[in-house]
Amino acid sequence: MRKIILLLLTIFLVSCKKEKVDGIIIGDTLFVHQSLIENRKMENLIYQALKKEKSAIIEIKNFPNGGAAGSYDLGYVLTQIIYRIGEKDFANILREIPKSERNEFEGLIAVGLEYGDNDYDGKMDNKRMETEFPKLNEILNE
């Protein structure tokens, strides 16, 4: 009986994770490898980032993702946020972030544009930062 209760509790807790936060999709690899606590933290960071909170955007960039496909999914989360709040506002936030903290943004945004489905048509977008986000590209290459 105790094992059954423990199993049901585990299933319940795992099923409480969110794959989508206020319309922002957390990609499969990133989602699957998150604990419930990490998923809740990601949820909170996404809400804060949508409110244009600089510290949340930095924390998303630094969020543990397991590398490889998890990094692509994290980049996809970032690109969705950029589209939602707008390139201009995201660029203003980036300008406030010390150059030392800007590391990795370029790579994450690049893979989010290339492999993400930012137009939600079921296909990878294969877009480039130079053409999609020229202001961000300029700031990140200063």
Q: List, for residues 93-125, the tens digit of each pLDDT value.
A: 999 998 888 889 999 999 999 999 999 999 999
Distance CA 20, CA 113 (A): 18
Contact 137, 130 (CB under 8 A): yes
**What's the pTM value of the predicted model, to 2 decimals?**
0.87
pLDDT at 36: 84
% pLDDT > 90, the chain: 66
Which of these, 17, 21, 140, 16, lies nearest to 80 by C-alpha position? 21
Spell out the residues 6+ positions from residue 102 whose beta carbon is closer than 8 angstroms to its own: 94, 139, 140
